[in-house]
Amino acid sequence: MFSDKAKEEIQQVLKKYPNRRSGVMDVLRIAQRERGGHLVKEDMEEIARILGMQTVEVNASAAFYTMYNVEKPVGKYHIQVCRNISCLLLGAENLIKHMERELNIRVGETTPDKKFTLSTVECLGSCGTAPMMQINDDYYENLTAEKIDKILKDLK
């Protein structure tokens, strides 16, 4: 399941800790990336084998942390819009509605072409440049409806 590059990364991860179990979060992250944004049961079994854990224990970790998308495929671009206080004060709600209209999906859904998934998330720690969102690894800040249109167009 893991590519050679991923296997090498996992070896590096295991060097950081006195036991293998501590590597579970990193290895889950690597597995999610390898699968293109989500995790399936098979991944948990493989990770359990690598780390000498029970599958149910790997599952427990994956289910606890919100950034692991367990059995929940996401689009090529995962748009995560902050819905917490600082962004809300500066109009995040309208921007979320705007994006729902533009993408023609509701929060939590993926476009039929599997390109965009729209999610709302709690504070991403970019409150001085609110409203903001994260698309895959990158932050987009000081958003307006016009700015969002341009960002989405560039990604389309």
Contact residues: another protein, CB under 8 A: 16-19, 21-26, 28-29, 51, 53, 60-61, 64-68, 83-86, 88-90, 122-130, 134, 137-139
Least Å from the CB of residue 113 to another protein: 25
Which CB atom, from 27 or from 99, has the smaller least distance to another protein?
27
Contact 132, 82 (CB under 8 A): yes
Which CB atom, from 132 or from 151, has the smaller least distance to another protein?
132
Which CB atom, from 91 or from 102, has the smaller least distance to another protein?
91
Least Å from the CB of residue 35 to another protein: 15
Least Å from the CB of residue 65 to another protein: 4
d(CA 26, CA 49): 15
Residue type (1 letter), 114? K
d(CA 142, CA 148): 10
Which CB atom, from 26 or from 46, has the smaller least distance to another protein?
26
Least Å from the CB of residue 2 to another protein: 18
Least Å from the CB of residue 104 to another protein: 25
d(CA 96, CA 34): 29
Which CB atom, from 52 or from 112, has the smaller least distance to another protein?
52
Q: Could you write out the three-class secondary structure of 41-109?
A: HHHHHHHHHHHCCCHHHHHHHHHHCCCCCECCCCCCEEEEEECCHHHHHCCHHHHHHHHHHHHCCCCCC
